Structure 1
Amino acid sequence: MQGMGEQGEACPFEFNFDPTTFKVGDMVSYRVSGGLDGFPFVGTLAEVHDDYVMIAPGDPTQPDAVYRATRESRPLVDETEIQ
């Protein structure tokens, strides 16, 4: 996200990168394994558990979609979670 706009332009999103403080409703930058590896995605934490999180990607074509991800600074979603 950084460096994608004009010089000095701030990222329009505020992410929580601290997994110890994750709470429902936090916006996170997450990754997807496999063919989408390396692309940044934005989602909202729908559930927070001790060792994983559930991320709502906010896709208007799939409003009920929720992906299981690792609980780390940039959660990782397994590509098999994506329909």
Structure 2
Amino acid sequence: MQLTLFSTQGCHLCDDAYDLLVTAGVSQQVNLVDIADDDELSLRYGVTIPVLSYRDAQLNWPFTLNELIQWLQNNGFDYHQ
């Protein structure tokens, strides 16, 4: 199962969140979803992106690398440092 990062082009916070995913070593397992391509997603996440999703759990920005790793582990993501 993959992680989903709800974001949009030109969002520097989304870029920051993705950089943390790279640092955590999980960027290869991330599905980037541009909310601008979907009216429903734009309404849901328009003012809260970036939002990371895995199964039924969501992690809203802002988050640190340590918070990201803790969230991955707490939600059953197969994370190995």
Query: For the superposition of Structure 1 and Structure 2, which TM-score range results when normalised by the shorter chain?
Result: 0.3 to 0.5
TM-score, normalised relative to structure 2:
0.32
Instruction: Name whichever structure is richer in strand by fraction.
Output: 1
Instruction: Name whichever structure is richer in helix by fraction.
Output: 2
* Larger RCO: 1 or 2 (CA < 8 Å, sep 6+): 2
Which has the greater radius of gyration?
A: 1
TM-score, normalised relative to structure 1:
0.32
